[in-house]
Amino acid sequence: VTAAAAPVVDRSRAENLDRADPLARFRERFVFADPDVIYLCGNSLGPPSRAGVAAIDGAIAAWSRRLVDGWEDWLDLPSRIGDRMAGPLLGARRGEVIVSDSTSVNLYKLAAAALGAAAPRSVIVADASDFPTDRYVLAALPAALRLISDGGTAAPTAASVAAVLDADVALVCLSHIGYLSGAVADMAAITAVVHDAGALMLWDLSHSVGCYPIDLESAGVDLAVGCTYKYLSAGPGAPALLYVRSEQQRRLRQPIWGWFGQRDQFAMGPDYDPWPDVRQFLVGTPPVLALAGIGGSIDVVAEAGIGAIRAKALALGELAMDLYRAWLPGLGFRLGSPLEGPARGSHVGLRHGDAQRIHRELGAAGRIVTDFRFPDTIRMGLAPLTTRFVDVWDALAALRQLSY
Ligand X SMILES: Cc1ncc(COP(=O)(O)O)c(C=O)c1O
Task: List, by residue number, the catalytic residues.
Answer: 131, 204, 229-230, 379
Alpha-carbon span 383 to 42, nearest angstrom: 6
Collapsing DSSP to helix, strand or coil, 404 comes out as coil
By beta-carbon proximity to ligand X, the closer residue of 96 and 204 is: 204
Least distance from ligand X to the Cβ atom of residue 230, Å:
7
Q: Name residues contacting ligand X, limited to 134-153 (CB under 6 A).
A: 134
Q: How far is the CB of 123 from ligand X (least distance, A)?
A: 21
371 binds ligand X (CB under 6 A): no
CA 147 to chain centre: 21
Q: Quick one: 99 or 194, whose CB is closer to ligand X?
A: 99
Give the span between the Cα atoms of 216 and 209, in whole angstroms.
11
Query: Cα(103)–Cα(243) distance, rounded to whole angstroms?
Result: 11
Contact assessment for residue 177 and residue 183, using Cβ atoms and an 8 Å cutoff: yes
**Measured over all CA atoms, what is the biggest interatomic distance in the chain, rounded to whole angstroms?**
77
Q: Which is nearer to ligand X, 160 or 206 (CB)?
A: 206
Q: Is 127 in the site for ligand X (CB under 6 A)?
A: no
Contact status: 133 vs ligand X (CB under 6 A)? yes
* Closer residue to ligand X in complex, CB, 45/298: 45
335 part of the interface to ligand X, by CB under 6 A: no
175 binds ligand X (CB under 6 A): yes
Kindly state whether residue 240 participates in binding ligand X, applying the rule CB under 6 A: yes
> How many CB atoms within 10 Å of residue 267?
9
**Measured distance CA(183)–CA(153) in Å, rounded:** 7
Which three-class secondary structure state does DSSP give residue 355? helix
From the list 52, 42, 72, 97, the residue with the least C-alpha distance to 295 is 52
User: Among residues 204, 222, 391, 394, which is the contact residue for ligand X, using CB under 6 A?
Assistant: 204
Question: Given candidates 30, 131, 203, 231, which one binds ligand X under the rule CB under 6 A?
Answer: 131
Give the length of the chain.
404
Q: Does 104 help bind ligand X (rule: CB under 6 A)?
A: yes
> Binding segment for ligand X among 17-25, 75-83, 99-107, 276-284 (CB under 6 A)?
99-107
Number of residues that bind ligand X (CB under 6 A): 13
Residue number with CB closer to ligand X (123 or 174): 174
Q: Which residues pair with 290 in a beta bridge?
A: none
Helix (H) or strand (E) holding 150: none
Q: Does 103 bind ligand X (CB under 6 A)?
A: yes
Q: Kindly state whether residue 129 participates in binding ligand X, applying the rule CB under 6 A.
A: no
Distance of CA 359 to the CA centre of its chain: 23
Binding site for ligand X (CB under 6 A): 102-104, 131, 133-134, 175, 179, 204, 206-207, 227, 240
